[in-house]
């Protein structure tokens, strides 16, 4: 541990360099000089979305019919149900099937759930009030506990795909939960890296990382008493953020009432800033990363959320992972420090810029 302010040498803010992601062990190439290309700073806005509060054709709205003849109740808060087109199905853990040395498959049991954040078809997370956001956090915790208690479930992944740009097929405010027997590769990499750090230092990796970020302040976007939001030092997406619990708890279940309120607050504040960045309902994929549900203690795990928005320079221009990114490694032009400064300068009032 060092007492010096953890800042990059000034030359690296202008020159190509690589940054290391300690959560995954991967690298990202940063090319800040490319941000000086002529199109930088162009802003294009889309017309405001107009959606009814209730859409009779929406299969997620209260009282409407879903696939297979299922009908939604007239819910007034959150509503959770098993996905009618689930990517995983319940069952016992499947045996490994080795077709050949290099052809290996294994049956994967699991459960997929859908969470409607609100009965209002025309809202999204930044539109919800404090009680509505807290209700979402509570249902996340309840579903994590309920699904994670099943003996065949080893990991519970809570996530949201927002916007058509992220492949969302229905604009009604909702997220998903995929609970499965095996741990997905992303959380598995984080488990390994966090375990190695905890073994060396007796502290969580993200506790040490958050301390460095707050000492520097360059990449901190916003914070409250219980959570902080940063553009991570190793961010791949232009306006990627990481929401970190100040207290190193392994899952949502360890949060007390004030901390749950704190998480709900920072999600609302962050998503409103996102919407104000380009004057559009900001698309993203976001998800909660927390301890596996394998029945073992995980003191190395530190609760956090990832937000991965694709937009690069306007409401219509996105970052693509193509060419070098697909064949080599991720690359970005705008530095995380400049992205954090832009997000930090935005208002948190809905619809303000």
Q: Which residues contact 164 (CB under 8 A, 6 or more apart)?
A: 171, 283
Q: Which residues contact 55 (CB under 8 A, 6 or more apart)?
A: 61, 121, 172
Active-site residue, 174 included? yes
Residue 32 CA to residue 226 CA, distance in Å, equals 33
Question: Which strand (E) or helix (H) includes residue 130?
Answer: helix 130-148
C-alpha closest to that of 280 among 193, 350, 196: 350
194 close to 300: Cβ distance less than 8 angstroms:
yes
Residue 329 CA to residue 332 CA, distance in Å, equals 10
Would the CA dihedral through 251, 257, 259, 262 be positive or negative?
A: positive
* List 172, 174, 181, 289, catalytic entry: 174
184 close to 157: Cβ distance less than 8 angstroms:
yes
Separation of CA 243 from chain center:
8
Plot region of 214 (φ>0 → left; ψ -120 to 50 → alpha; else → beta):
alpha
C-alpha closest to that of 47 among 317, 319, 278: 278
144 close to 158: Cβ distance less than 8 angstroms:
yes
Residue 126 CA to residue 136 CA, distance in Å, equals 12
**Which residues are catalytically annotated?**
174
């Amino acid at each position: 541990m060092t007492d010096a302010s953890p800042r990059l040498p000034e030359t690296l803010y202008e020159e190509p360099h690589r940054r290391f992601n300690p959560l995954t062990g991967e690298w990202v190439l940063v090319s800040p000089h490319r941000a000086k290309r002529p199109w930088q700073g162009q802003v294009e806005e889309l017309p405001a979305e107009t959606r009814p509060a209730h859409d009779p054709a929406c299969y997620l709205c209260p009282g409407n019919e879903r696939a297979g003849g299922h009908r939604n109740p007239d819910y007034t808060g959150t509503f959770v149900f098993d996905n009618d087109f689930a990517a995983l199905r319940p069952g016992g853990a499947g045996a490994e099937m080795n077709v050949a040395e290099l052809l290996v498959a294994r049956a994967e049991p699991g459960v997929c759930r859908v969470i409607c954040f609100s009965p209002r078809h025309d809202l999204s997370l930044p539109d919800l009030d404090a009680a509505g956001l807290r209700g979402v956090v509570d249902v996340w915790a309840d579903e994590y506990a309920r699904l994670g208690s099943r003996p065949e479930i080893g990991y519970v992944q809570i996530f949201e795909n927002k916007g058509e740009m992220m492949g969302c097929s229905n604009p009604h405010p909702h997220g998903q939960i995929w609970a499965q027997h095996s741990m997905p590769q992303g959380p598995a990499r984080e488990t390994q890296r966090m375990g190695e750090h905890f073994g060396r230092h007796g502290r969580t990796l993200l506790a040490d990382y958050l301390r460095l970020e707050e000492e520097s302040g360059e990449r901190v976007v916003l914070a409250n008493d219980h959570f902080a939001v940063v553009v991570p030092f190793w961010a791949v997406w232009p306006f990627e953020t990481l929401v970190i619990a100040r207290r190193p708890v392994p899952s949502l279940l360890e949060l007390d009432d004030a901390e749950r309120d704190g998480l709900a607050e920072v999600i609302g504040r962050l998503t409103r800033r996102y919407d104000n960045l380009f004057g559009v309902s900001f698309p993203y994929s976001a998800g909660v990363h927390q301890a596996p549900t394998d029945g073992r203690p995980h003191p190395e795990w530190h609760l956090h959320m990832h937000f991965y928005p694709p937009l690069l320079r306007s409401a219509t221009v996105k970052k693509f992972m193509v060419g070098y990114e697909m064949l080599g490694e991720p690359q970005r032009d705008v530095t995380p420090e400049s992205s954090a400064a832009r997000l930090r300068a935005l208002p948190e009032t809905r619809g303000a810029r």
